[in-house]
Chains A and B, each alone.
Chain A
Amino acid sequence: MTAVRLSARPVPPSLRWLKTGAGFLATLSLTFLGLLLITFVIGRVVPIDPVLAVVGDRAPQEVYDAVKLEMGLNDPLWLQFIHYVGSVLQGDLGMAVSSQRPVIEELGRVFPATLEMATLGILIGVFIGVPAGVVAAANQGRWVDQVIRVIGLAGYAIPAFWLGLVGLALFYAHLHWVGGPGRLDIFMEGLVKPKTGLLLLDSALAGEWGVFRSAVSHIVLPAFILGFFSLAYIARMTRSFMLDQLSQEYIVTARVKGAPERVVIWRHAFRAIRIQLVTVIGLSFAQLLEGSVMIETVFSWPGIGNYLTNALLNADMNAVLGATLVIGAVFIGINRLSDLLYRILDPRARA
């Protein structure tokens, strides 16, 4: 009897929050575990013998066996996996073979460069993409709409690395509008001590405006190219969300009531899609991190993507897996976070 009454009563908000939070943490940790399992499996599939990488191929059999035992490679696979998870949780991603330094330390060094570029990219994507999508939807079928649709399609069809190369040839080599590859002009290298690792911020804080200008001229092109792809995606999604809203009856009501078109679009329709946009922006930020692998390679940008591709070419597996793990973790984190945010903000998704 009491049980029935209890379940009929609405769940108190605090408990609901707890449930959402617990479910969030559960899926998050499960997904992370999946990521770890994948990198673990990839690490095992590799034909490179990790023992040989340590002892060299001329080592006598006893040394080889001893090292193998010490590295725990005789343990059953599930135990090795647990050890692997444990060491990753402690921040131990192994040593990079090429530099003989801990991978985690190197990743910490290169990550700010990626963060800086990706942040600028997403800002460009949001501040151009969202208005573009709204304008396209408000002018459905007219030429503005067609242009924005073509841009949206181009984001799907153009390879990022190719656009980067074309941009370099055009804006750097021919027009001299922007700086070339790298983060700074060579003679400016090392003038500013890294504090946050974000060069724009560091040089501005130190008052080194020459360095700041050089950094800006170098980041503009890759950030815009990266931003172009999130712009295309965000504009496309914004447009379709807006079209959805504009076809609803409350919009007709607003128009009949005599509300000016600007109010109908921005105050009524746009307000309704803000929550959906949060998810889209989160998703495109995550994709941006991925896209930066290609862009960084083209622009010799010393970020995590460039680190990853260099490690790939050197077959430095610890570095590859470490970078994969970090990018994957950030990607998953942002994805799940925007999912959670959507659930918190949208009352309909709570049920």
Chain B
Amino acid sequence: MMTVNWLMSDAPETRWQAGLGQAYRTSRALFANPLALVGLVIILGLLLVAAFAPWIAPYSPIESDLSARLLPPSAAHWMGTDELGRDIMSRIIHGSRITLYIVLLVAVISAPLGLLIGTMAGYFGGWVDRVLMGLTDIFLSMPRLIMALAFVAALGPGIENAVIAIAITAWPVYARIARAETLTFRNAEFMSAIRMQGASHARIIVRHVMPLCLSSTIVRVTLDMAGIILTAAGLGFLGLGAQPPMPEWGAMISSGRAFILDQWWVATMPGFAIVVVSLGFCLFGDGLRDVLDPRNRT
């Protein structure tokens, strides 16, 4: 009880206490939302499966066993085997690492980029704003998947290039959000106070503007994760993302395409993994938005 009072205190004594209190309140609100909890459980599950993939997976994801080709789901192979006799469930389990890798890398590249461009545009205003936002608008009005396809075509197939291509098409949304957020407190008194203390523009943007835009960006990134996963899987499906024998889910569906009419499980099973994980990010993102960003509810 004491700790709860300490966490919920209206007059926190340290920054640390205030931060913990905020986190506590946020998580309480999240736990009150069952769908968001489902999303959180799915994401945590993905993290655990990815972390312990070699220990969880019953078979090797790469080694083929031609005597066990295209077996239907059974007790030995819960999701059946593919055209090289590899256990599909083991491949999906190992594939979670690739999915996580892509999603995290795209987020790490595109979110800071969008945040920087958006906060700069909002903070400086004037021609900086017009140039940066013009650029953002041009990118925003491009079809994302087509652009990613064209970039990968130019850079060459592969997982890193797929990540770069997706990141290039993902940042404009974050820039727009960060700019809109920056505009709301651009003329606030605390900004003048920081400026009068003699802080440089770079310091103000990085230390004071960006942290305030962080929560809405995080919400948006979480909501975008599903789209990123689908795009990455799409690139894999077209043979432009992860290359065989990597157990990437989209590429697995692509290789199962040849058997879809008779051995349906080869192409279908990885799709379920994609759907579940995307759904998890969607649900969790929705919940996060309601908690962190109540204004933009749609």
Contact = CB atoms under 8 A, between A and B. Distances in A.
Contact of B143 (A31, A166, A286): A286
B146 A293 contact: yes
A306 to B, nearest CB: 11
Interface string B269-282: 00100110011001
A38 B140 CA distance: 13
A158 B134 CA distance: 32
A72 interface: no
A161 B142 contact: no
A153 B285 CA distance: 12
A229 to B, nearest CB: 11
A45 interface: yes
A159 B156 contact: no
B141 A31 contact: yes
A156 B143 contact: no
Highest count of chain B CB atoms <10 Å: which of A38, A158, A162, A240: A162
Interface size bracket, B side: 35 or more
A109 B44 CA distance: 49
Nearest to B238: A309
Contact of A308 (B149, B230, B261, B278): B149
A321 interface: yes
Highest count of chain A CB atoms <10 Å: which of B146, B237, B260, B282: B146
B142 A158 contact: no
A159 B271 contact: yes
Nearest to B232: A159
A201 interface: no
B227 interface: yes
Highest count of chain A CB atoms <10 Å: which of B134, B149, B153: B153
Contact of A335 (B139, B141, B233, B282): B141
B239 A313 contact: yes
Interface in B152-171: 152-156
B79 interface: no
B239 A168 contact: no
A324 B147 contact: yes
A45 B150 CA distance: 11
A289 B146 CA distance: 10
A327 B146 CA distance: 8
Contact of B264 (A169, A309, A332): A169
Contact of B149 (A159, A173, A312): A312
Highest count of chain A CB atoms <10 Å: which of B144, B226, B234: B234
Interface in A23-72: 27, 30-31, 34-35, 38-39, 42-43, 45-47
Contact of A320 (B153, B230, B250, B268): B153
B105 interface: no
Given A31-B141, A35-B142, A159 B282 contact: no
Nearest to A324: B150
Contact of A331 (B143, B233, B275): B143
B261 A157 contact: no
A264 interface: no
Contacts of A324: 146-147, 149-150
Contact of B151 (A42, A168, A237, A294): A42
A297 B268 CA distance: 17
B143 to A, nearest CB: 4
A315 interface: yes
A169 B256 CA distance: 12
Given A165-B260, A336-B141, A294 B149 contact: no
Given A157-B275, A158-B271, 13 more contacts: A27-B137, A154-B279, A156-B226, A157-B282, A160-B230, A161-B250, A165-B256, A169-B267, A308-B146, A308-B149, A309-B149, A331-B146, A335-B141
* Shortest beta-carbon contacts, A-B, top 10: A34-B138, A162-B271, A157-B278, A157-B279, A173-B261, A42-B154, A331-B143, A45-B154, A324-B150, A290-B143
13 contacts: A42-B154, A46-B153, A157-B230, A158-B275, A160-B234, A162-B267, A286-B143, A309-B149, A309-B238, A312-B149, A317-B153, A317-B154, A336-B141
Interface of B: 134-135, 137-139, 141-147, 149-156, 226-227, 230, 233-234, 237-240, 250, 253, 256-257, 260-262, 264, 267-268, 271, 274-275, 278-279, 282-283, 298
